[in-house]
Every structure is written in structure tokens, then in C-alpha cells.
Amino acid sequence: MIYDPNNIFAKIILGEIPCHKIYEDEHTLAFMDVMPQVDGHCLVVPKVGSRNLLDSDLAVLAHVIATTQKVAQAAMKAFGADGVQLRQYNEQAAGQTVFHLHFHILPLKEGDILQPHTGKMADHGVLAEHANEILKYI
């Protein structure tokens, strides 16, 4: 399996497609998922391309995990969450739909029920508000 740079997250990283950005540094970018499974659902990607965890460079993974921790802490505070779930899919058989490595961050309160994966597109105004809430704690 090889990395195809013609994927939606590569275009977001290049600024060719807009996103509701939460965090960016030299190595990583974090932004809202357009089909959130819960309020505050966001994604962390490395700027360097890899399909998923299986073909990622370890140094790149270290940067991605550091950003994931930072954004997870902020998302929990922003949404008053009791916990946070990370999800990361590798290859189609495992549910991956965008083939550029990413970690899902899902801040959860007790009793929250997740919406389906890649279910319903959210309103962009709402996503912008949610990104702003998380940004307050970054």
C-alpha cells in the first residue's frame, strides 16, 4: 500500500481546501471533523504524508501524539468532558476512509452516545464555534 498525495487531508494541509483549524506547528495540524461523532470531534494529522500508522515514521508519530495530547486536553476542557476517546483506523477493512494518517479525538461526557462514523455533515457555523471553544484552551 502506497501513500497517495491526492487525498483530502493533503489538500487541507496545503491550504487548497478549507478547514476549521485548531492547532498548527511545524509537523502537525489539528482541525474539526466535518462529520462529528460527538461535539468537539477533531482530527490530528502529520504534515508529512503517510497512509496510516503502519507506514509512519516513528519521529513523525511522536509529533502527532504530542499534538494529540495537547488538543485532547483542550477539547476536554472546552466541552466539559469526563474523558476522551482516540480512534485511529488503518486500511479500508478497518474502517479507514481518508488515507493520510490521522487520530480522531472524541471528548465524551458520561452517557454520551457517538453518532455514526462519517455519518452526517455538520453546520459550518457550529464547527467554527466549536473550533473557537477548543482554541481557548490550546
Residues 83 to 112 in contact with ligand 5GP, rule: CB under 6 A: 89, 95-98
Q: Cα(77)–Cα(74) distance, rounded to whole angstroms?
A: 5
Residue 18 is a binding residue for ligand 5GP (CB under 6 A): no
- Give min distance, CB of 92 to ligand 5GP, in A: 9
- Give min distance, CB of 96 to ligand 5GP, in A: 4
What's the grid cell of residue 63? Answer: 509529533
Residue 53 is a binding residue for ligand 5GP (CB under 6 A): no
Q: Cα(47)–Cα(62) distance, rounded to whole angstroms?
A: 13
Nearest residue to the partner ligand 5GP, using Cβ: 35
| Residue tagged active-site, from 20, 41, 63, 102 | 102
H or E element at residue 104: strand 103-108
Using the minimum distance from each CB to ligand 5GP, give the nearer residue, 79 or 99.
99
What's the grid cell of residue 119? Answer: 455519518
H or E element at residue 22: strand 21-24
At which residue does the C-alpha cell 472524541 appear? 106
Residue 19 is a binding residue for ligand 5GP (CB under 6 A): yes
Q: Which of these segments, 29-37, 64-72, 75-83, 129-137, binds ligand 5GP (CB under 6 A)?
A: 29-37
Q: Cα(90)–Cα(110) distance, rounded to whole angstroms?
A: 28
**Comparing C-alpha atoms, which of 7, 91, 93, 103 is closest to residue 54?**
91
Task: Judge whether 102 counts as a catalytic residue.
Answer: yes
Q: Which residues are at the interface with ligand 5GP (CB under 6 A)?
A: 8, 19, 31-35, 89, 95-98, 118
Q: Active-site positions?
A: 102
